[in-house]
Amino acid sequence: MEEKIDRLLAQIEGNLDYLRELGIDYVPGDKSLPAGDLSKKKVFSSLEQEIRQCRKCPLAELRKNAVPGEGCIDADLMFVGEGPGRDEDLQGKPFVGRAGELLTKIIKAMKFERESVYITNVIKCRPPGNRNPKSHEIEACKGYLFKQIELISPKVIVTLGNVPTRFFLNTKTGITSLRGRFHTYKGIRIMPTFHPSYLVRNEEDRSLKKMVWLDMQKVMAVLGKK
Ligand code: URA
């Protein structure tokens, strides 16, 4: 019995040490208060801090700002793009340029608020001239995205365009064949769709928007938004 109590006390002490490491020195006794949520917030913001200071690949030398991501850390729905563009690099926020405006419209049409989903990219720093991320850049950066997904634990991830879709599905197949149906990544549903920049660049082709909307309706159905 005593041994058991000692083990329990050691376990509690270990947990408290962990919380102290995160900067939490007060844990309310009231079970209804969200000590767990508090620590998640702390872990998340230290992850964002780490991303903002990251120097794991040469893109760090070229950036104005790293762009960790933005939104609700308890979101059911996550959007993942390829990497920050010029506007995102300047502001340190994802999807704030023209493609971002369109993404915000799509999110609203899905009956979500931009703040209630989480938006991020496969890589967190802008590649020069908005070229596609190179595999060594993705390799250096991917741990951040994995950690974000682990913490948020979304029900659905919408992948925008080829880069995030191929990343999650580990394939070279193109977005046109993969979009519009659910795939799975570690038990999470993945819905690939066209990148909003592609829609902006091909504004006259209304069928693209229609296809994205069909894809998003499937996501809405899964998340109870119909
Ligand atoms: N394109 C992306 O893939 N991500 C952004 O954040 C902006 C444009």
The answer to whether residues 99 and 20 touch, using CB atoms and an 8 Å cutoff, is no
User: How far, in Å, from the CA of 39 to the mean position of ligand 1?
Assistant: 29
Q: Which domain holds residue 44?
A: 1-53
pLDDT at residue 9, as a whole number: 60
- Please state, in angstroms and as integers, the Cα–Cα distance from residue 204 to each residue in 13, 103, 199, 207, 209, following that order: 62, 17, 9, 9, 10
Q: Render pLDDT for 159-212 as a digit per residue (tens, 0 to 9).
A: 999 999 999 999 999 999 999 999 999 999 999 999 999 999 999 999 999 999
pTM: 0.85
Q: Among 4-13, 46-55, 66-75, 95-104, which stretch is predicted with the lowest mean pLDDT?
A: 4-13
Q: What is the CA radius of gyration of the chain?
A: 20
Same domain for 125 and 104? yes
Look up residue 53 and give its DSSP letter. T
How many Å apart are CA 26 and CA 39, to the nearest integer?
A: 11
In a domain, 58, yes or no: no
Same domain for 117 and 204? yes
The answer to whether residues 83 and 123 touch, using CB atoms and an 8 Å cutoff, is yes
Same domain for 87 and 20? no
> Which residues share a beta bridge with 157?
78, 190
Averaged pLDDT for residues 120-125: 98
Same domain for 80 and 191? yes
Same domain for 7 and 44? yes
Same domain for 34 and 143? no
Q: Which atom of ligand 1 is nearest to the CA of 82?
A: 3
Q: Render pLDDT for 126-171 as a digit per residue (tens, 0 to 9).
A: 999 999 999 999 999 999 999 999 999 999 999 999 999 999 999 9
With CA atoms as reference, report the closest residue to 114 among 129, 98, 96, 126.
96
pLDDT at position 22 over 80: no
Residue 146's identity, in one-letter code, is F
Q: Which atom of ligand 1 is nearest to the CA of 161?
A: 3
Same domain for 39 and 85? no
pLDDT at position 13 over 90: no
Residue carrying structure tokens 């979101």: 75
Q: How many CB atoms lie within 10 A of CB 98?
A: 15
User: How far, in Å, from the CA of 102 to the mean position of ligand 1?
Assistant: 11
Same domain for 48 and 81? no
In a domain, 4, yes or no: yes
Q: Which atom of ligand 1 is nearest to the CA of 163?
A: 3
User: How far, in Å, from the CA of 94 to the mean position of ligand 1?
Assistant: 6
